[in-house]
Amino acid sequence: MPAPVTTRRRRLAGLLLLVAILLIAVAASIAIGSRMLPLGTVYDALTCPGGWPLSCPSESAGEQIVRELRLPRTGLAIITGLALGVAGALIQGFTRNPLADAGLLGLNAGAAFLAALSIYLFGFTSPSQYVWFAFAGSAIAGVVVFGVSAIGGGKASPLSLVLAGAAMTALLTALTNTVVLLDASALDTYRHWVVGNVAGHDAAVFQQVLPFLLIGAVLSLAATPGLNVLSLGDDVARGLGVNLTRSRAIGLAAVVLLTGAATAAVGPIAFIGLMVPHIARTITGPDNRWLVPYSGLLGAIALLLADIIGRVIARPTELQAGVMLAALGAPFFVYLVRRRKLVSL
């Protein structure tokens, strides 16, 4: 059997395995928490005759927990983990920087600034209120960074993107710190969001960010094939007929939509975008046609597992998913770098 066919089947099998692991993590996320629920209660809550589970009346406290708390929480963790994983792979591919993540382009800083500003000016306390401002801040920061990096030669090179993103992050971080220090109540609300948390969000937040994530996913599919050519260098890609500006614009638009919506919903959880593509690259190699979907599934699994572990180890309270990812992911990433030779970009 030809080697390429064998490799393709192996990668497809890997995707199916990740889907199976994700389904197991979903079941665990619904059943495990400060209160353990039997599988029968979970099944009753999920099987709503003639309707959607979230719209069904709950006949017991267990069903109420599943439908009102854990289903929205699990769904939000899945879509934001997928988005951050895909966005991380795209960012590293377009910037050709193995240490790139959403924070590199100032997207997290933009979301944080407008979220803090809206909390301070309008007294928002619910994520469903300031999620639009956080998304707008991330989108504006992405547009400005891309525009600034293209000034001069008219080309947004990887180096100019990194420099513009670093400058934007420094500026917006300073402005955010100024805003949150002006008001203690704004600081309390802001620090609950900025730590990165999928808990405490109702289905409204899920519905608000889902359209942007779907559009970002479509754009990422359109941008992925060109990444393999761009990895050969700008001169080679240009010689092969690739429009570098248009290709990077589509890719960065996907990154802005995915990262902006995910960050607006759950706060800045940037470690997924840094770690997950490296793990996926050790499995798939540098082929972005496989790297991007692998990164998305691994991102969803990582965020779900971090959320589940945070519920268990600190009972009856919880540790936020962003905290758990930083605590568990950083040592693993160091081990990965020391023990395995990462596939270069």
Specify whether the backbone of 48 is left (phi greater than 0), alpha (psi in -120 to 50) or beta: beta
Length of the chain: 345
CA distance 283 to 44: 38
pLDDT reported for residue 273? 86
Q: What's the rounded Cα separation, in Å, for the pair 259 and 82?
A: 10
Degrees (nearest 5) of the Cα angle 37, 301, 280? Answer: 165
Task: Say how many C-beta atoms besides its own lie within 10 A of residue 204's C-beta.
Answer: 13
Judge contact between 271 and 100, C-beta under 8 A.
no
Question: Which backbone phi and psi does 41 adopt, to 5 degrees?
Answer: -65, -40
Supply the pLDDT for residue 2.
46
Per-residue exposure over 11-35, b if at least 16 CB sit within 10 Å of its own CB, e if not? beebeeebeebbeebbebbbbbbee
Domains of the chain, CATH where assigned:
3-339 (1.10.3470.10)
- Predicted TM-score (pTM) of the model is 0.85
The HSE-up count of residue 130 (CA atoms within 13 Å, CB side) is 28
User: Residue 171, exposed/middle/buried by CB under 10 A (0-12, 13-18, 19+)?
Assistant: middle
Q: Which amino acid is at 153?
A: G
What's residue 83's pLDDT? 93
What pLDDT, on the 0 to 100 scale, is given for residue 57?
65
pLDDT by position in tens, the chain (length 345): 444 668 888 889 999 999 999 999 998 888 887 777 777 777 777 776 555 666 566 667 777 777 777 888 898 999 999 999 999 998 888 877 777 777 778 888 898 899 888 888 888 877 778 888 888 898 898 888 877 876 655 555 667 777 888 889 999 999 998 888 887 777 777 877 888 888 877 777 888 888 889 999 999 988 887 777 777 666 776 776 667 777 777 888 888 889 888 888 888 886 788 889 988 988 888 888 899 999 999 999 999 999 998 888 877 778 888 888 888 777 777 776 666 555 445
DSSP assignment of 238-263 equals HHTT--HHHHHHHHHHHHHHHHHHHH
CA-based nearest residue to 85, from 287, 271, 284, 319: 271
Please tell me the predicted confidence (pLDDT) of residue 341. Answer: 52
Question: What are residue 163's phi and psi, to 5 degrees?
Answer: -65, -45
Instruction: Tell me the C-alpha distance between 146 and 166, whole Å.
Output: 12
